[in-house]
Amino acid sequence: MFRLLKFKPPHGWNAVTWELAIVTLGVVIALGAQQIVEAMRDRRTASETRAEVTDELNSNLMILRLRQAAEPCIKGRLNELRAMVTQWETTGSFVTPKWVSQAPMFLVDLSRYDAAQSAGRLALLSSDEQYRMGAIVARLRKFDSWQTAERVPWGRLRALQFGAAALSKNDQSDIRSALQDASTLDYMANANPAEALPMARKFGFRPDASGFRETAPQVWPGGKFTPSICASIDTPPEEANKRVVVPLAL
């Protein structure tokens, strides 16, 4: 009959238990240290991401301020063009404008936000921070889509610079439609800052003019914001074009 052999460690079970406890404690300490290092790295990354995205959003919010500053000139030009088209439809002619211009366009840059989102770094921020940033970004993107869409109707409105003799009845209808489109888009683009800026202020963001002050001298003489649409409708194009060179990047 076979007899079962009893296994007995050379130094006894107490020694084995002690060694296992030491190994387990070492593993726990190592894992805890790794978690501490990872947590410190995540906090540093979150802080850097927060600062970078906040700076970017504040810079873009300045664009909304500039749009508000240009709005009286945009509305004034739309009113002039509306009166011109009405005169054309009534009398068959109008005084040919030299400078129709267009609503100013600004470069909305959200590359840092997009990069942080793609890399998963935004997930290191609190859900409340992510919501606040996302809400501002959504409104900036919507504003950008409206200001981009504005270029089309304003391009059609500039056909008025050819004069009534060079335009047909179909052109008249097309320009009337473009005027309506430009007015509608202007209303939406103007309503956006009125909603977004108070929201941004509530969320702890505010327009940062430092980028504007740095870039403006490259765009406008003296660095003062003077959009070309603020030039008189009788301004020669060669003079009015000096007021703006490229879309302003903040």
Q: At residue 114, does pLDDT exceed 90?
A: yes
Q: At residue 3, does pLDDT exceed 60?
A: no
Question: What number is the average pLDDT over the span 97-124?
Answer: 94
Q: What is residue 9's predicted lDDT score, i.e. its pLDDT? A: 60
If you average pLDDT over every residue of the chain, what do you get? 87
Question: What number is the average pLDDT over the span 152-156?
Answer: 97
Q: What is residue 82's predicted lDDT score, i.e. its pLDDT? A: 97
Three-class SS of residue 98? coil
Q: What is residue 214's predicted lDDT score, i.e. its pLDDT? A: 84
Three-class SS of residue 249? strand
8: in domain: no
Q: What is residue 220's predicted lDDT score, i.e. its pLDDT? A: 75
CA-nearest of 61, 56, 249, 58 to 140 is: 61
Q: What is residue 43's predicted lDDT score, i.e. its pLDDT? A: 85
- Cβ neighbours of residue 142 closer than 8 Å, sequence gap 6 or more: 192
Number of domains in the chain: 1
Q: What is residue 15's predicted lDDT score, i.e. its pLDDT? A: 65
243: in domain: yes
Q: What is residue 97's predicted lDDT score, i.e. its pLDDT? A: 97
Token pair 């749009």 is found at 67
Range of the domain at 235: 13-249
**pLDDT above 70: percentage of residues in the chain:** 85
CB 245 within 8 A of CB 219: yes
Q: What is residue 21's predicted lDDT score, i.e. its pLDDT? A: 73
Three-class SS of residue 248? strand
113: in domain: yes
Task: Give CA–CA dist 245/119, Å, rounded.
Answer: 35
Rounded to two decimals, the pTM is: 0.80
Task: Give CA–CA dist 171/157, Å, rounded.
Answer: 10
Q: Kindly report, residue by residue over 11-57, the tens digit of the pLDDT.
A: 665 665 767 777 776 777 766 766 665 667 768 999 999 999 999 99
Q: At residue 177, does pLDDT exceed 90?
A: yes
244 or 139, greater pLDDT: 139
148: in domain: yes
7: in domain: no
Query: Which three-class secondary structure string do you get for 155-221?
Result: HHHHHHHHCHHHCCHHHHHHHHHHHHHHHHHHHHHHHHHHHHHHHHHHCCCCCCCHHHHHHHHHHCH
196 or 30, greater pLDDT: 196
Instruction: Output phi, psi for 107, to 5 deg.
Output: -85, 110
Q: What is residue 24's predicted lDDT score, i.e. its pLDDT? A: 76
Q: What is residue 245's predicted lDDT score, i.e. its pLDDT? A: 47
Q: Kindly report, residue by residue over 57-99, the tens digit of the pLDDT.
A: 999 999 999 999 999 999 999 999 999 999 999 999 999 999 9
204: in domain: yes
Q: Confidence class of residue 224 from pLDDT cuts 50, 70 and 90?
A: confident
CB 64 within 8 A of CB 206: no
5: in domain: no
6: in domain: no
Report the 10 Å Cβ neighbour count for 125. 19
Q: At residue 218, does pLDDT exceed 90?
A: no
Task: Give CA–CA dist 181/152, Å, rounded.
Answer: 9
Q: At residue 6, does pLDDT exceed 60?
A: no
